[in-house]
Amino acid sequence: MKLFSLLYRFFEFVKHYIVGHNEHGLHSPFVYQLYTTTIQNHGFPNYEQLEQHYFELISDHHLITNKNPGAGTSLHKNIRVPIKRLAKHSIKSLPWRQLICRLVDERTPQIVVELGTSFGITTAYIAATCPNAKIYTFEANSSLIELSREFFKLAGLTNIEIIEGDIDETLPAFLKQHPQIDVAYIDANHRFEPTINYVEQLMECVTWKGLIIMDDIYWSYPMTKAWEVLSSKKAVTVSIDLWQIGLLYFHTGQEKENFKLRF
């Protein structure tokens, strides 16, 4: 199964970079502006303190219990593994962390929802880049929550709130209390039905300027199918496939269109 997944991702990666486009030939003013000023603005942001913590994590030999129910962590589920192994497996590389932050910041959000805190590196990047936004991050693994909470405290990030527990239960309750959100970043579970369920709930609450970022859309065939189903929904006016992540935009003032772009 692992070999099949690796072959699937490799095949989709090659296909993406054959058919993917850059700014040349982009006729959508919204997408052209987004691509040239936000997506391709490499190198920003950069936080030395946060990066230092990342390097500490990928060198940490202490054991941690991985209890996450999602497919993305199935190789290390319900066993004690070194922090460095789980960190290398779950934390996005720097260019993608920076890109996610730029995409979130471009929307000038007040409320950001993240499903899947992990070690809190991407969470911290978003919080530092958008200091006027409140970041609500959801995580089921109590060990990761403890590590993340201590990290946020040491980093002086006060605009983050961790929602602890099974997302299937905590997200509906949260959205009843917060019926309007600006940006959501989905990096949890990595299965077809839960992913569809999470995004459909968030779509009901996203504001007119909203953005939903789906991570790992080529993690597996079911994740790719989930992306295809969600990006085809009528409420989504622009979808952008960047290979590792997919972007869902709403009310962009143009005809519905799907883009596959290189990053």
pLDDT digits (tens, 9 = 90+) for 175-184: 999 999 999 9
The arithmetic mean of pLDDT across residues 70-76, rounded, is: 51
Region of 18 please: left (phi>0), alpha (psi -120 to 50) or beta: alpha
Confidence of residue 7 (pLDDT cuts 50, 70, 90): confident
pLDDT of residue 27: 86
- Structural domains for the chain: 2-46+89-260 (3.40.50.150)
| Residue 3 clears pLDDT 80, i.e. is over it | no
Mean pLDDT of the region 204-226: 95
pLDDT at 65: 83
- Strand pairing report for 245-249 and 238-241: antiparallel
Predicted pLDDT at 74: 47
pLDDT in the model for residue 70: 58
Q: Which tens digits make up the pLDDT trace of 85-104?
A: 999 989 999 999 999 999 99
Which of 93, 156, 96 lies closest to 124 in space, CA to CA? 156
- CA–CA gap between residue 18 and residue 16 (Å, rounded): 5
Contacts of 105 (CB under 8 A, 6+ apart): 129, 130
Arithmetic mean of pLDDT, 234-241 = 95
pLDDT tens, position by position, 121-146: 999 999 999 999 999 999 999 999 99
Q: What is the DSSP letter of 167?
A: H
Indicate if the pLDDT at residue 52 is higher than 50. yes
58/67 Cα distance (integer angstroms): 19
CB hemisphere CA count around 81 (13 angstroms): 21
Q: Can you give the pLDDT at residue 69?
A: 57
**pLDDT band at 73; cut points 50, 70, 90:** very low
Asked if omega into 109 is within 30° of 0 (cis), the reply is no
pLDDT at 77: 54
**pLDDT (tens digit per residue) in 14-36:** 988 888 888 887 888 999 999 99
Edge to edge, what strands does the sheet with 238-241 contain? Answer: 160-164, 134-139, 111-115, 181-186, 206-215, 245-249, 238-241, 257-260
